[in-house]
Structure 1
Amino acid sequence: MEKLLEKHKIVAVLRSGSVEEAKEKAQAVFKGGVCLIEITFTVPNAETVIREISFLKEKGAIIGAGTVTNVEQCKKAIESGAEYIISPHLDEEISQYCKERGVFYMPGVMTPTEIVKAMKLGHTILKLFPGELLGPKFVKLMKGPFPNVKFVPTGGVNLNNVCEWFEAGVLAVGVGSALVKGTTDEVTKKAQAFVKKIKECTE
């Protein structure tokens, strides 16, 4: 999973009010060149969305579940075909459940204490949340004591600041509203813009 994050550098974080909207947005971001798609469990029947967009995997999409806050959601996600699990917090039960099933888990952290706890559980690729509150400078500061940890900020990442995050040393970024708001055509264009911008600032 680390190689996939390093290669693609962006995860589309999908939140929507219905299964149909989520499916449409997932296809729109993929059409725009974003392959890592995270279906959040704030979406009604998120597991149904994961199942119904699984056909995109054949075309190169990597589909996972986000905002997973308990083992029950984790179980539903994995049974529906989620290839990775992301949570806004650090959860030992989810960590253990994913480990037993060989599924990649990215816990959320926002303090040095949480980073150390995650490392003790065997996790070195961590979601930085909320990214907007912490900022790129936090990543630079954490690289000192934790040089082997790789961060994926989510929350507040947009086209105007995405390069600052990569300059700070993140592995990838999670992008929600700045990417997935709007019509499907607008979402596809935004996805293309993000892919282009990230390529420009990481090459």
Structure 2
Amino acid sequence: MMSLERIREEGIVAVLRTESVEKCLQIARELYEGGIRVIEVTFTVPDADKAIKALSEEIKDALIGAGTVLTAEQCKRAIEAGAKYIVSPHLSEEINEVCKEAGIPYVPGIMTPTEYVKAKNMGCEVVKIFPGDVLKPVFIKSMKGPFPEFKAIPTGGVSLENLEEWFKAGAFAVGAGSNLVKGNPKENARQFVERIREIKKGSR
């Protein structure tokens, strides 16, 4: 799917958890100015679907998706608002069905080989490793033993300092939240994008 290919190319998904739509839009704009092109609006944001709709209309060349999607109903709202991909912290057959029907990629959260096989059998090409700071980069490396096709996006604890470790372990892309948005989002974005570019260039 095109959205997944774009995520792989960019290498980073900015995960936004804010207390309002306005704050979400403001941070998203700053991240975009810093070079971020894939943005995930989580459903912990009040009226998250409004933020997704606004960003989809305003930043045409960015890939806007929804995160922390816990129910099929939230999933439908996100897709109606313009979400191009759906992420959840867990594995849900109901959410998967809604995404399949809409032709939108579903990236479920997994923590075990059993959950991964279930996700794969459901048709999910890419999974989210959550929490990343608990599972560590070695989890991806280990999973690629029995599952060479394992494509995962770690979220939680991803920082400038451990980016290289994640990509060297075989991460499909990374999801970054607080380390990207705290302080100066625009400058943080620039540093993350630049660092990922360096890492990818070095691995060719």
TM-score range, shorter chain: over 0.9
Are 2:200 and 1:199 equivalent residues in the alignment?
no
Supply the AA of the counterpart residue of 1:36: V
Supply the AA of the counterpart residue of 2:80: E
Equivalent in the alignment of 2:28? 26
Check the 8 A contact 2:28/2:39 in 1, yes or no. Answer: yes
Q: CA RMSD in A?
A: 0.9
Shift, 1:149, TM fit: 1.8
Give the 3-state SS of the residue equivalent to 2:40 in structure 1.
strand
Equivalent in the alignment of 2:100? 99
Unpaired segments ≥5 residues, structure 1? none
Equivalent in the alignment of 2:77? 76
Shift, 1:144, TM fit: 0.4
Partner Cα separation in structure 2 for residue 57 and residue 190 of structure 1: 19
Deviations 1:111-142 (A, max 9, x none): 11100100110112110100000000111000
Give the count of matched residue pairs.
Answer: 199
Shift, 1:157, TM fit: 0.2
Percent identity over paired residues = 52
Give the 3-state SS of the residue equivalent to 2:119 in structure 1.
helix
Normalized against structure 2, the TM-score is what?
A: 0.95
Partner Cα separation in structure 1 for residue 51 and residue 9 of structure 2: 25
Shift, 1:56, TM fit: 3.7
The partner residue of 2:53 within 40, 51, 54 is: 51
Unpaired segments ≥5 residues, structure 2? none
Partner Cα separation in structure 2 for residue 112 and residue 87 of structure 1: 17
Deviations 1:1-34 (A, max 9, x none): 2311221000000000011100001111111111
Partner Cα separation in structure 1 for residue 157 and residue 37 of structure 2: 20
Normalized against structure 1, the TM-score is what?
A: 0.96
Partner Cα separation in structure 1 for residue 56 and residue 69 of structure 2: 19
Check the 8 A contact 1:124/1:148 in 2, yes or no. Answer: no
Equivalent in the alignment of 2:16? 14
Partner Cα separation in structure 2 for residue 116 and residue 100 of structure 1: 21
Partner Cα separation in structure 2 for residue 79 and residue 175 of structure 1: 25
